[in-house]
Amino acid sequence: QLSDQQKMSESPLSPFRGVYLPPALHPLNKTLVKGGKWKDVDSTQEERRSFLHDFCKKYNSRKQLQTHLVHLVSRIYVEDRHKVLYCEVPKAGCSNWKRVLMVLNGLAVSAHNISHDDVHYGKHLRKLDSYDLKGIYTRLNTYTKTIFVRDPMERLVSAFRDKFEHPNSYYHPVFGKAIIKKYRHNANEEALKTGSGVKFKEFIQYLLDSHRPVGMDIHWEQVSKLCYPCLINYDFIGKFETLEEDANYFLQLVGAPAELKFPKFKDRHSSDERTSAEVVRQYLKELSKEERQLTYDFYYLDYLMFNYTSP
């Protein structure tokens, strides 16, 4: 373990030598929490934290830790006013979380009038990898770090529905065309030209292929590879399944304005049925037993880390 001084004085190449941030379980600072209604949420939070901590202690292997620090923190958003670090997990409430961070940062008055494009393409929020090494280490060591996760199969199906079942000027031509070309026999010219109409089974074939025609994407990448929960000791673990109460409790913990509540609205395709366990079941029926098992295996670490029940 390096002292802060050693960390700062090392050469700029030092982050390439591998990083190990011990998953220490720090007590949460609850001095700003008002009222007794958070008792159940708090005890659930402590269970999740200690579960992840124990998991990481048990399964962590130093051989896997040779990861460049800047890569480790590339998905983490920074809110300096309330000293918050939020690791973005797509399809787990991330759009509304970014809206909340913008309000906390004084960039908007309300989370309700920030458009989807403004959230994702407005470049209003800074990411942790945009700071120098000292800035990264200081924030990792002193800010409240949070991650919000979701049942892996629900997250996967939600991503597929969002990106492939609706018109999309990026996912259809980039991913759709490549997927149809490789996995659909006798694909017609129109499908090959537009990349529209990818079937769930074809999408899963792409996901499980070690020689994918196109790379991975953050919307279906494993949380273990997006946020590195065993290398970065997150203080707060929220779940999509209890999103509102977790988020509002977290806002209390960091001293957010009392009137700021986590938004309830669905960010896109609001008329669509939400991706639930029942919706997932219908999609999984399109797969063979082996494909279902391999998809579960793909997200195995996420299931284990966050104590989700296997489907």
Q: Note the pLDDT tens digit of each residue in 116-125.
A: 677 766 678 9
Residue pointed to by tokens 């008055």: 109
Residue 83 located in a structural domain: yes
Residue 4 located in a structural domain: no
**Rounded Cα–Cα distance for residues 19 and 144 (Å):** 20
Q: What is the mean pLDDT of residues 79-95?
A: 95
Whether the per-residue pLDDT at 298 is higher than 50: the answer is: yes
pLDDT in tens, 160-205: 999 999 999 999 999 999 999 999 999 999 999 999 999 999 999 9
Number of domains the chain is built from = 1
pLDDT in tens, 6-60: 444 343 334 434 455 555 678 888 988 887 889 999 999 999 999 999 998 888 6
* pLDDT band with cut points at 50, 70 and 90 for residue 68: confident
Residue 84 located in a structural domain: yes
Q: What is the mean pLDDT of residues 146-171?
A: 96
**Rounded Cα–Cα distance for residues 242 and 36 (Å):** 18
**Rounded Cα–Cα distance for residues 15 and 7 (Å):** 9
- List the alpha helices (DSSP H) in the chain: 4-9, 39-59, 69-72, 94-104, 116-121, 133-142, 152-164, 171, 177-183, 189-194, 200-208, 223-226, 243-253, 277-284, 289-298, 300-305
The whole-number pLDDT of residue 210 equals 94
Q: Which residue in 256, 288, 276, 292 sits closest to 82, CA to CA?
A: 256
Mean pLDDT across the chain: 87
Residue 103 located in a structural domain: yes
* pLDDT band with cut points at 50, 70 and 90 for residue 67: low
Q: Which domain holds residue 96?
A: 38-153+219-275+299-306
The answer to whether residues 104 and 82 touch, using CB atoms and an 8 Å cutoff, is yes
Residue 23 located in a structural domain: no
The answer to whether residues 52 and 237 touch, using CB atoms and an 8 Å cutoff, is yes
Residue 73 located in a structural domain: yes
CA 225 to chain centre: 9
Q: What is the mean pLDDT of residues 146-173?
A: 96
The whole-number pLDDT of residue 269 equals 61
Integer CA distances (angstroms), 80 to 27, 102, 106, 223, in order = 21, 11, 11, 24
The whole-number pLDDT of residue 205 equals 98
Residue 1 located in a structural domain: no
Residue 282 located in a structural domain: no
The answer to whether residues 64 and 124 touch, using CB atoms and an 8 Å cutoff, is no
The whole-number pLDDT of residue 272 equals 79
**Rounded Cα–Cα distance for residues 169 and 166 (Å):** 10
The whole-number pLDDT of residue 120 equals 67
